[in-house]
Homo-oligomer: A and B are copies of this chain.
């Protein structure tokens, strides 16, 4: 398989991207790479070009660029050229650590939606940190769409099911709807409609509403949410975890010698905690609902995270997640059309 890489996206690009791709190349013997970017900069860091083809891109989409405009106007950017390679069948998947909005726009406008999916959604895997047979879960949409409709959330559930099944290897994944209470009638009008649609769908293992308080305790394998709330919840989890680690550190540094000694003795414990909360271990965020894997990692990603994310892309391809999702949607066209009509008539 071949992966098209935006080598210029991310805070440490191209250095950490190039080094991460070399790690991935050494780990996965069946992957070859197309690396798009400023070739003279890339070649400074590339030690060995075995299975790595460097392709010149004259432009770079910056983190602050307006996404849709940048994708439309910077045709020679590493991001647009890498996405175009996927569209043209030259590569099987797209990877970037760059401008999130531009990645979403490239996925949507260049690579294109799966027929029958109205709006792609961004899926992130998060850890379950308390004792549970479930070790992680996938949540979507975490920010591709700020204005999410009932139909979109219903489709997120289907897409999340395929992600959990194929990439996380969960048989018959439990699907929860993020809501402001667990009772069936909770939430705003849209969430109540989504609840009923999911409850009525025999192909989905719907576990009902879940509250954000229970997410890290493993409330479900797939957590469905509108993109506005999902984004806010994801950032709250990140922010709270980081704030607590700071708080612990500040308290230790302000404390007595005893507290510093205690902290030294707990060093490996704190290491385990930081590891448990580090969701880059699970790879990047996946734009679900487009025709090929479009995967982004945090802008601050370093080489090992880049390598992990390539492993995730390989799993998406090897497991045939996208063709299977596509087959399901094609073969259930009538059913999905009925759902669309029922939403309109409600």
Contact = CB atoms under 8 A, between A and B. Distances in A.
Contacts of A191: 146, 228
A204 interface: no
Contacts of A255: 266, 268-269
Given A213-B235, A228-B229, A244 B129 contact: yes
A18 to B, nearest CB: 29
A259 B250 contact: no
B250 A261 contact: no
A188 B251 contact: no
A269 B251 contact: yes
A184 to B, nearest CB: 12
A276 interface: yes
A294 to B, nearest CB: 20
A211 B235 contact: yes
A241 B236 CA distance: 10
Nearest to A256: B268
Q: Is the interface of A mostly helix, strand, loop or mixed?
A: helix
Contact of A265 (B147, B237, B259, B269): B259
Contacts of A339: none
24 contacts: A131-B250, A143-B180, A146-B180, A146-B186, A147-B188, A147-B189, A187-B228, A188-B228, A211-B235, A212-B239, A213-B239, A216-B240, A217-B243, A229-B232, A233-B233, A236-B237, A240-B241, A244-B273, A247-B273, A247-B277, A255-B266, A262-B262, A262-B264, A262-B266
Given A255-B269, A266-B266, 13 more contacts: A146-B188, A147-B189, A211-B235, A211-B239, A212-B232, A212-B235, A213-B235, A217-B239, A229-B229, A240-B241, A255-B266, A259-B268, A263-B266
